[in-house]
Amino acid sequence: MEGTKIKVAQLKKARIEIIPLIDVIFFLLATFVLFTLSLNRIVSVPVNLPVPSDKPKTDDKDEMVILQVSAEDSLFWNREPIEFSELRGRLTAYKTQVKGEPRIMVSNDEKAKFGAAVRALDEIRSAGIESFSVETSNTRATGK
């Protein structure tokens, strides 16, 4: 018996196909090109930045009114206790007395209720004063 010949299949060598690789590279290139072209069309929100003024700022704290709201819903005008009912009268009188734009800073105790501060802000607006400051961190003692 002569031996039976068994055919053994030869293993094919692995090949890296270059054409699909080129297709993927061109797809990525086209994606990045289209993305960078679309960056020019992004519309931004216009912002009016503050412009420095020619006149020096005065540090007169006497001209600024500090309006403080305490935890007991009491109100202080430059550390002097007042009632909410007399706030509008004081604001209109202050507006007519001051030269230029009235300067008001609204300040709260950390335990003050939000409603009392909103009432004070509403009174400021109804007195015709359109710009005021609000103190965000309170380092003062209210009314003292």
pLDDT tens digits, one per residue of 80-128: 998 888 888 999 898 888 888 888 888 888 778 788 888 888 989 988 8
Sign of the dihedral through C-alpha 122, 126, 131, 135? negative
Dihedral-angle region of residue 85 (phi above 0 means left; psi in -120 to 50 means alpha; beta otherwise): alpha
Which structural domain range is residue 115 located in?
65-134
* Percentage with pLDDT > 70 across the chain: 82
The answer, yes or no, to whether residue 62 has pLDDT greater than 80, is no
* Domain membership flag for residue 119: yes
- Residue 57 included in any domain: no
Q: What's the CATH code of the domain at 94?
A: 3.30.420.270
In a domain, 37, yes or no: no
Closest CA to 99 of 124, 53, 66, 63: 63
Q: Is 42 within a domain?
A: no
- In a domain, residue 89? The reply is yes
Amino acid 23: pLDDT:
94
Q: What domain count does the chain have?
A: 1
pTM of the model: 0.52
- 113 belongs to a structural domain: yes
Locate tokens 């007991």: which residue?
A: 72
What is the reported pLDDT for 144?
Answer: 44
Structure tokens at 67: 């309006």
For 16, what's the count of Cα atoms within 13 Å in the CB-facing half-sphere? 3
Give the three-state DSSP class for 134.
strand
CA 80, 142, 127, 82 torsion: positive or negative? negative
